[in-house]
Structure 1
Amino acid sequence: MAASENEPLTSAFREVMAGVATPVTVVTAMDGRRPHGTTVSAFASLSMQPPMVLIALDRRSELLALIKSSLRFGVNVLGHGQSALALAFARKGGAGRFTGVSWEVDGGVPRLSAAPGWLACEVADVVEGGDHVVALGNVLAAQAAKGAPLTYHARAFGTHVALA
């Protein structure tokens, strides 16, 4: 099917997915002593035994290439009020994303100090999926702090509010 013939489906799919609230994370990896990271909303828990997560990255992503070679990645789960941080790591051109951001190496990968959720992962497998690649990660370390999550829904940042 030609791309133009598929446009109605692509448009409808994009609209359906905009209606799905997703968590906002910054996925990180190290290149020697230099940190790399990008904003990722394609993130989910995969398994409890053993603890595993999955992330999806564009197959052209520099971060994906680094994760494939280092076999490690960090997942910094952002909290409500951290949309500026999410936007900073989402912009094109990775240079300078860590400028002014407090971080440290934890479990061999960059950990953003202000992120309320943290996972250090080792790559278990990578799976091709269309224009993205899914990295399955065994969780090596995890830490959580209280607070409302940052979510992305209807092309806007927000948070989850529990029903009364």
Structure 2
Amino acid sequence: MSDPAPDPMVDESDFLAVMAEVCTPVTVVTSLDDALPYGTTVSAFASLSLRPPMVLVALERSSTLLAKLRRTRRFGVNILGSNQDAVARRFASKGIDKFHGIAWTESDGLPRLRDATGWIACRVQSFFEGGDHMLVTGVVERAVATPGAPLAYHRRTFGTHSEIAVSPR
């Protein structure tokens, strides 16, 4: 016997509940346009390719940052550390000066946040439609790691990753 055909429309609350069980990295994606910094918190970020080095981010179609990326064709990915949950919340907000009071510098022609555990400068390769989001692929032009515990998002809360204790055999 085969399984019945899946319902093409999954209930949003069921989908959100399942996705809340997925632990994701927390990043702030940034761009610079007319000397002004722009940025937003993104948890839909992934490594895409090693040869050439590429990453993928997903941005809401209505995102101001997405419009800036279409114009500038460049973006930075700030991989947040475990002590940067306030930074993540700030950049997830709408209608405020997100960079006010936030320590950042211009690096590789892009806004780079202080104390991030990783920095990736990218050139946009392409945009793909993905429902209510746009997927942006970027070719990595520079990558810098700073050791530290990452900020993660799981079950709608911020946390971090820790190594599993290996039990003796």
TM band (smaller chain): over 0.9
Per-residue CA deviations over 1:58-86 (Å, capped at 9, x if unaligned) read 00101001001100000000010110010
| Partner Cα separation in structure 1 for residue 11 and residue 77 of structure 2 | 31
Confirm whether residue 22 of structure 1 aligns to residue 24 of structure 2.
yes
For 2:130, the equivalent position in structure 1 comes to: 129
Per-residue CA deviations over 1:121-151 (Å, capped at 9, x if unaligned) read 0001110010000000000001011111000
Confirm whether residue 118 of structure 1 aligns to residue 136 of structure 2.
no
For 2:107, the equivalent position in structure 1 comes to: 106
Confirm whether residue 155 of structure 1 aligns to residue 162 of structure 2.
no
Q: Secondary structure at the match of 2:149?
A: coil
Q: Percent same amino acid at aligned positions? A: 54
| Partner Cα separation in structure 2 for residue 42 and residue 8 of structure 1 | 20
**Matching residue's letter, 2:125:** A
TM normalised by structure 1 equals 0.93
For 1:143, the equivalent position in structure 2 comes to: 144
Residue 6 of structure 1, CA deviation: 8.3
Dislocated runs of 4+, deviation >6 Å: none
| Partner Cα separation in structure 2 for residue 136 and residue 57 of structure 1 | 11
Residue 8 of structure 1, CA deviation: 5.8
| Partner Cα separation in structure 2 for residue 120 and residue 81 of structure 1 | 22
Q: Secondary structure at the match of 1:115?
A: coil
Residue 109 of structure 1, CA deviation: 1.0
TM normalised by structure 2 equals 0.90
Question: How many pairs does the alignment contain?
Answer: 159
Per-residue CA deviations over 1:30-55 (Å, capped at 9, x if unaligned) read 11111000100000000011110000
Q: Which has the larger radius of gyration?
A: 2
Q: Secondary structure at the match of 1:157?
A: strand
